Structure 1
Amino acid sequence: MDLNDELRSAAWRKAIKSGPNGGDCLEVAPLSGGRVGLRDTEAPEKAPFVVSASVWDAFIDGAKKGEFDF
């Protein structure tokens, strides 16, 4: 399966805190090879951003440590 087909059939999910109306958030989807797809809930028709497993893991680790807090 090529990446475009995989992205179309991916199991996209968003944070529970985004609420029932969709909210302003990102959606994520697990992809083959440990990659992760990211897309904007308000523009799901736009091409998603795809990152490797190591990039995703580093981002999650940083988020948990508060590195991106304002």
Structure 2
Amino acid sequence: MITPEELAGVTWHISTKSANGGGQCVEAGPLADGSGRVAVRHSRRRDAEVIVYTRAEWQAFLGGVKDGEFDFPVS
């Protein structure tokens, strides 16, 4: 479980590819504790649940994105 104190040090990032300036996308940012963990949240529901990924999980996800593993049709 992530604490509010741990989230307080997160610098959130929104993709520049977001069509509406961050209104309906995800935000991600590294935890400030030096663990390499990355927090992810919905940009419209900033007070809602946050998912935290380990460094290895985040790197695996980014690798899959770069390799096109998530290039599926979205309607």
TM-score (norm: length of structure 1): 0.86
Which 4+ runs in 1 deviate beyond 3 A? Answer: none
Question: 1:42: Cα distance to partner?
Answer: 1.1
Instruction: Supply the AA of the counterpart residue of 1:25.
Output: C
Amino acid at match of 2:4: N
Alignment of 1:11-26 (within 5 A): 11-19=11-19, 21-26=21-26
Q: Give the 5 Å matches for 1:1-70.
A: 3-19=3-19, 21-31=21-31, 32=33, 33-70=35-72
Percent identity, aligned pairs only, is 38
- RMSD across aligned positions (CA): 1.7
Letter in 1 for 2:40: L
* Structure 2 unmatched runs, 5+: none
Give deviations 1:15-57, integer Å, cap 9, x for gaps: 0121464232110011120000000001011021001000000
Structure 1 alignment gaps of length 5 or more? none
Aligned length: 69
- The Cα shift of 1:7 comes to 0.7
- Letter of the 2:23 partner, please give it: G
SS in 2 for 1:16: coil
Q: Higher helix fraction: Structure 1 or Structure 2?
A: 1
User: Which TM-score applies when normalising by structure 2?
Assistant: 0.80
Please say which of residues 42-51 and 14-23 is displaced more in the overlay: 14-23
